[in-house]
Amino acid sequence: MAQTQSPGTKRSSDTESGSPADPSPDPVLSLSNVTKEFGPETAVDGVSLDVEPGELLTFLGPSGCGKTTTLRTIAGLEEPTEGEIRLDDEVVAGGDGAFVAPEQRDVGIVFQNFALFPHLTVRENIAFGLSDADASATEARVDELLELVEMTDHGDKTPDQLSGGQKQRVALARSLAPEPEVLLLDEPFSNLDVRLRVEMREEVRQILKEAGVTAVSVTHDQEEALSISDRVAVMNDGRIEQVGRPEQVFERPESKFVASFLGRASFLEGELRDGKVETGIGRFDAVTLEGYDTVYDGAPVDVLVRPDDLRATPASPELADGVIVSRQYVGPSFVYRVELESGGAVHCLHNHVEEFDLDEPVTLELTADHPLAWYPR
């Protein structure tokens, strides 16, 4: 279930205060109260969303949250139980029982396993969706796409002669060939190794932006979603918990679920009193909290802190806020887990040259230089 929204979390405008907002372009894709049930199970529950021209939007969430089913309803591979889907202002599902078959929708799909035809060359794979074009137009379009995905020297190869990254480029080019209104990407990087995954998501974003295509992606990988997307829609239990630019969703999560799913989140139990927050690591000014209002004085709250918001210092047992119970080496840094004397635990990030021993007592200092999200308990 969705957690209580933080009173300090507000949707921010993309326009400066006092500046007239530019009229929004008509969305390429609109979902209105889309619901998909499988027997007694509700996989997608009332999803409403618009996707703007040229936007790269990613549905992000854990396995079973409904993101892939949502993508399949857009593609026409599943028919919504309720709601309406519009593509370029045409109803393709819902309404008065309308349902446009997948092959008649102007969408392209890039699957997890790339789904290239093994017996066809790279050129033939890309040309597969261009059956309505004449030979010269097809050749010109394939040449254009080979250049776009930087595969001009590989046109005569077959998929078994390509690396994972090259296969992904070919799959992308094949999906872009018919110039679809919307390109759908289903966990597009999941079959690549970690190093190649990072490299390819940068390349794919660049290719999509250069092509000017509108794209919708699904992934469970938060780093992937935050790095490639113009906007992220975080899903949980079939519902969208929050939609926004990556930095908005990460820095101002509207629910404890979003906060917990994005990054390593810890929550300090506290109580608001007289303009202060009393916590297990000390008392600090409530203006540190995003959107604090005195109406919440006396309320118990959970304050979101991430590892870089806290700093540990060795202390004597009688003065300590807690003890180090584990540490994780993450390259140039250690992430330490501190079990608090007041109950609960938090994480703090330190340079690798600053080492703490397990069971070492420490005090914790709040070093965040930004407003903190918080949630009433």
Eight-class DSSP state of 144: H
Q: Are 264 and 306 in contact (CB under 8 A)?
A: yes
**DSSP SS3 for 373:** coil
Cα(246)–Cα(146) distance, integer angstroms:
31
Q: Which helix (H) or strand (E) holds 50?
A: strand 41-51
Please give the pLDDT value at position 21.
45
Please identify which residue in the block is written with the tokens 């903190």. 372
Q: Are 349 and 335 in contact (CB under 8 A)?
A: yes
| Residue 210, Cβ density class (10 Å: 0-12 exposed, 13-18 middle, ≥19 buried) | exposed
- Share above pLDDT 70 across residues of the chain, in percent, rounded to a whole number: 94
Please give the pLDDT value at position 106.
92
Give 49-97 pLDDT, tens digit per residue: 999 999 999 999 999 999 999 999 999 999 999 999 999 989 999 977 7
Is residue 41 very low, low, confident or very high in pLDDT (cuts 50, 70, 90)? very high
Phi/psi at 310 (5° precision): -125, 150
- Global confidence as pTM: 0.87
Strands 276-279 and 266-273, sheet pairing: antiparallel
- Share above pLDDT 90 across residues of the chain, in percent, rounded to a whole number: 74
Phi/psi at 327 (5° precision): -145, 150
Give 208-235 pLDDT, tens digit per residue: 999 999 999 999 999 999 999 999 999 9
Residue 348 has pLDDT above 70, yes or no: yes
Q: Which helix (H) or strand (E) holds 77?
A: none
In angstroms and rounded to an integer, the radius of gyration of the C-alpha atoms of the chain is 25
Residue 368: other Cβ atoms inside 10 A: 15
Give 320-334 pLDDT, tens digit per residue: 999 999 999 988 899
In the chain, the domains with their CATH numbers are 29-106+180-261 (3.40.50.300), 266-376 (2.40.50.140)
